[in-house]
Amino acid sequence: MQMQRFDGYGVLITGAGQGIGAATARRFGEEGARVLVTDLDAGHAEKTAAAIPGALPLVCDARDGAAVEAAVAYAVREFGSLDVVVNNAYSCTPDAARFEDQDDESWNRDLEGSLTSAFRVCRAALPHLEAAGGRGAIVNVGSVNAEVDFGNHAYSAAKAGLASLTRTLAGNAAPRGVRVNVVEPGTIRTGGWAGREDDLAYLAGVYPLGRVGEPEDIAAAIAFLASRDASWITGTTLRVDGGILAVNAPFRGARSDG
């Protein structure tokens, strides 16, 4: 039987219509939370929320400060409290062929979608998380791109900024009884990889644990950091990456073949 660590909790998740966000919404719902499933796409939000008892869908552009304020107010009004926020919304624009051809528009789009959006959500939610009686938690969804070069200049810079924001906000929020942590996923099998099974099969061989991640792997880590099981953890970066940042699997393979 699934643990009920979030009975009575109100949870807001951005970018929750599919992929990691949807899996996270399901995980919180399974553990007793009321979940506000926010997404840019109304259909995705509604589909995800419909499968989770007590969940509500809401169209919200996390890049829009007014929309974020309205979403937080809606969650508090409908659930009676806001105890957990998960910042999962992001933007990732393909790099230009040459760095000097990267334009301001794509750079700003990724920073807005992956970093500034999280800042806006945290800013709106923090007073309510403080009022949650020690249950308040923010979990940001970062990326291994924040740590080493996997491409995508703007996205990677934004995720590195998100890791830094996590640490500075953790220090600010700790005296207010709110914990702030970040999960950094590696390659996750989401809809963005549809039709690219050969690429995923190749990448599975690069990861030390022999597979790419599933959305549920990240959802489990997020739920842990949001729960009382992690009550003495704040300002930390939890890498959920199949070991790719710790072990150079291709290099080790080359050595063993030599």
Q: Which residues are tagged catalytic? A: 155, 159
Report d(CA 124, CA 91) in Å as an integer: 20
- Integer angstrom CA distances of residue 214 from 39, 50, 142, 201, 253: 20, 22, 15, 13, 24
What number of residues does the chain have?
258
Phi, psi of 232 (to 5 degrees): -115, 30
- Integer angstrom CA distances of residue 210 from 184, 202, 247, 250: 18, 10, 12, 12
Q: Which residues of 37-68 are buried (b: 16+ CB within 10 A; e: fewer)?
A: bbbbeeebbbbbbeebeebbbbbbbbbebebb
Query: CB–CB of 242/212 below 8 Å?
Result: yes
By CB neighbour count within 10 A (0-12 exposed, 13-18 middle, 19+ buried), where does 133 fall?
Answer: exposed
Q: What count of Cα atoms within 13 Å lies in the side-chain half-sphere of residue 166?
A: 30
By CB neighbour count within 10 A (0-12 exposed, 13-18 middle, 19+ buried), where does 198 fall?
Answer: exposed
Beta strand 10-13 with 84-87 is parallel
